[in-house]
Amino acid sequence: MVLRCGTALIAALALASPASAADLALSITGAGAVGQVRVMVSAQREQPLAAMVLTPQGGKVGVTLSHLPVGGYTVAAFQDVNGNQQLDSNLFGLPQEPVAQIAVQLGDKGLSVAVVLR
C-alpha cells in the first residue's frame, strides 16, 4: 500500500521552500500482522514536518512526501502493536515494539529510502 501525503503542511513547505524541492519516498518493511505504523519526518534538528499513522499490508507500507526542500531529514517509525499510541520500552529503555530511525540527505532528484522496522 503506497500513500501520497499531500497535506496542507506539505503544501506550505513547498511554497516556503527554496527553488530546489524533491520527493522523499519511504518504503517501510518489517511490520508484524498487528498494529499500525507511526511515522514522523523532520528536518534535522527541527520540529516534525509530517506525522502519519499507516496501516501495513503484508508487513509493509509506503508513503511519498512531495515537494520537500532539499536537505537533511530524520525519519522515525514504529509499529504500535498494542494500540496505545506510544513506543513502549522495557525497564532499561529499550524498545519493545518494532522501531527504526534513519537520517537521509534529500537531493534535487528525490530519494527512495527503505526503512526496516526491527
Domain boundaries, the chain: 2-116
Mean pLDDT over 9-32 rounds to 74
Give pTM, 2 decimals: 0.81
Alpha-carbon span 65 to 88, nearest angstrom: 27
- pLDDT score for 28: 98
Mean pLDDT over 22-42 rounds to 97
- Domain 2-116, CATH homologous superfamily name and number: Immunoglobulins (2.60.40.10)
8 A C-beta contact, residue 48 and residue 41: yes
Alpha-carbon span 30 to 98, nearest angstrom: 8
- pLDDT score for 9: 43
Confidence of residue 110 (pLDDT cuts 50, 70, 90): very high
8 A C-beta contact, residue 95 and residue 76: no
* Cα separation values, 46 from 53, 64, 74, Å: 20, 20, 9
Across the chain, mean pLDDT equals: 88
Give per-residue pLDDT as tens, 33-90: 999 999 999 997 788 999 999 999 999 999 999 999 999 999 999 999 999 999 999 9
